[in-house]
Amino acid sequence: MDPLLAAFEEAYGRPPQGVWHAPGRVNLIGEHTDYNDGLVLPFALAQGVSVAAARRDDGVLELRSLQAAADGRTVRVEELTPGAVDGWAAYPAGVAAVLREHGVGGASLLIDSDLPQGAGLASSAALECAVALALCQLHGVEIERAELARLAQRAEREFTGTPCGIMDQSAALLCTAGHALLLDCRSGLSSQVPLPLGEALSLLVVDTRAPHALADGDYAARRAECERAASLLGVDSLRDVKDLAGALASLPEPVLRRRTQHVVTENHRVEAAVGLLRAGALAELGALLTASHLSLRDQFEVSWPRADAAVEAALRAGARGGRMVGGGFGGSVIVLAAADRLADVREAIDAAYAERGWPAPAYLEAVPSAGARRLL
């Protein structure tokens, strides 16, 4: 028997009615653009969060996780308010609270994850989206996926206090196997862009093992700076800046010039990346990834030493390009390299870390995979 099914029976004394899964994501390019009404290009990983679940009709929500066995919670859905549940359980509880308005009720949930936490691979969004799908299907509630992503985002913002954008929940729900998702975060329109990794070229995810936490103030501070820059420029968001040179000349503070420079050029890099992918020129993407990293390091100032060292070592070992992914201040780096260079790249990164006395990073090869779905 599947270990998750067996564990569910043991925890709740009955079998689950189904198992739902939502993936983590790697954002190929388009970082810190989502909350600026910009463009992002994430794809779903094979790794993610699975939820075994059974409906309850008494309004009770039972939350357990194989990764936090000693920390189960039992709450009433009608009593869920921001702050009522803390820690990991705030994510599923927030989703249940937001979906309550749409007719969702209680359930017994058992969660399992093979995504490293704090690795910048959107494990929180995967958890929210797997739970959202499970609760909707158990209670016969139909919500279109783009809308479900917005509800999961709202749950995270209201119940964990993280002012996240819409990218991670959209990636979890809308990605398809073999593709990246081009999402326009202003219009909400998305399209699938072929991403033929794993043939001649591979994308290596390097978990730098410097954990990141979006709830810390730095992410919110970056958002606030972008909003301030947009307001000084008299536009709704930095997406609306068409004349970068003019905007930079008129912004009074150097820090706001740096933030604006990153966001505006990053949107152009996403468009260039999509053009290259549609033209079948995947290898050429490397230079854009590295340019994105340098911009995140020097202009947006969200990179961290282990990310910079990994990108530098990978490039020296012949990688086509690389960059940090996610919110920053810790987490993972991605490296684009010819499949026959991967071993050299890993060796070079390991050596760079050993030299500095850092623990070796963890690696996984990224395979563009399907979005959230019912498994059983």
Longest Cα–Cα distance of the chain, Å, equals 66
CA 149 to chain CA centroid, Å, is: 12
Q: Which is nearer to ligand GAF, 165 or 322 (CB)?
A: 165
- The window from 31-39, 100-108, 110-118, 247-255 that contacts ligand GAF (CB under 6 A) reads 31-39
* 164 in contact with ligand GAF (CB under 6 A): yes
- Provide the minimum distance between the beta carbon of 343 and ligand GAF in the complex, in angstroms, as a whole number: 30
Please indicate whether residue 168 is annotated as part of the active site. yes
Token pair 């230079």 is found at 287
Q: Which is nearer to ligand GAF, 31 or 207 (CB)?
A: 31
Candidate residues 38, 321, 327, 330; the one interacting with ligand GAF per rule CB under 6 A: 327
Is residue 112 a contact partner of residue 67, using CB atoms and an 8 Å limit? Answer: yes
Q: Which is nearer to ligand GAF, 108 or 295 (CB)?
A: 295
- The window from 30-38, 73-81, 234-242, 289-297 that contacts ligand GAF (CB under 6 A) reads 30-38
Residues 6+ apart with CB under 8 A from 197: 203, 282, 366, 367, 368
Rounded-to-integer distance, Cα 92 and Cα 107, Å = 11
Binding mask 121-160 for ligand GAF (x = CB under 6 A): -x--------------------------------------
DSSP element (H, E) containing 335:
strand 332-338
Q: Residue of minimal CB distance from ligand GAF?
A: 165
Rounded-to-integer distance, Cα 280 and Cα 212, Å = 34
- Provide the minimum distance between the beta carbon of 195 and ligand GAF in the complex, in angstroms, as a whole number: 18
Residue 328 token pair: 């920053």
Candidate residues 326, 361, 368, 371; the one interacting with ligand GAF per rule CB under 6 A: 326
Rounded-to-integer distance, Cα 230 and Cα 242, Å = 12
Candidate residues 112, 128, 168, 207; the one interacting with ligand GAF per rule CB under 6 A: 168
| Residues touching ligand GAF, count (CB under 6 A) | 12
Task: Compute the half-sphere exposure of residue 48: CA atoms within 13 Å on the CB side of its CA.
Answer: 36
* 165 in contact with ligand GAF (CB under 6 A): yes
Q: Which is nearer to ligand GAF, 306 or 346 (CB)?
A: 306
Candidate residues 167, 247, 285, 324; the one interacting with ligand GAF per rule CB under 6 A: 167
Candidate residues 16, 28, 34, 286; the one interacting with ligand GAF per rule CB under 6 A: 34
Candidate residues 214, 251, 314, 324; the one interacting with ligand GAF per rule CB under 6 A: 214
CA 155 to chain CA centroid, Å, is: 15
Is residue 334 a contact partner of residue 203, using CB atoms and an 8 Å limit? Answer: yes
In 3D space, the residue among 293, 288, 285 whose CA is nearest the CA of residue 268 turns out to be 288
Task: Count CB-CB contacts under 10 A for residue 266.
Answer: 26
Tally the residues of the chain: 376
Q: How far is CA 28 from CA 167, 188, 236, in A?
A: 12, 18, 26
Q: Which is nearer to ligand GAF, 92 or 106 (CB)?
A: 92
Binding mask 271-310 for ligand GAF (x = CB under 6 A): ----------------------------------------
Candidate residues 7, 24, 32, 322; the one interacting with ligand GAF per rule CB under 6 A: 32
* 31 in contact with ligand GAF (CB under 6 A): yes
- Provide the minimum distance between the beta carbon of 168 and ligand GAF in the complex, in angstroms, as a whole number: 5
The DSSP 8-state label assigned to residue 369 in this structure reads B
Name the amino acid, one letter, at 218.
D
Helix axes 342-355, 305-316, angle to 10 degrees: 140
Across 265-324, the runs of DSSP E, i.e. the strands, are: 321-324
Catalytic residue (one of 37, 112, 168, 207): 168
Residue positions annotated with a catalytic role: 168
- Give the interface with ligand GAF as residue ranges (CB under 6 A): 31-32, 34-35, 122, 164-165, 167-168, 214, 326-327
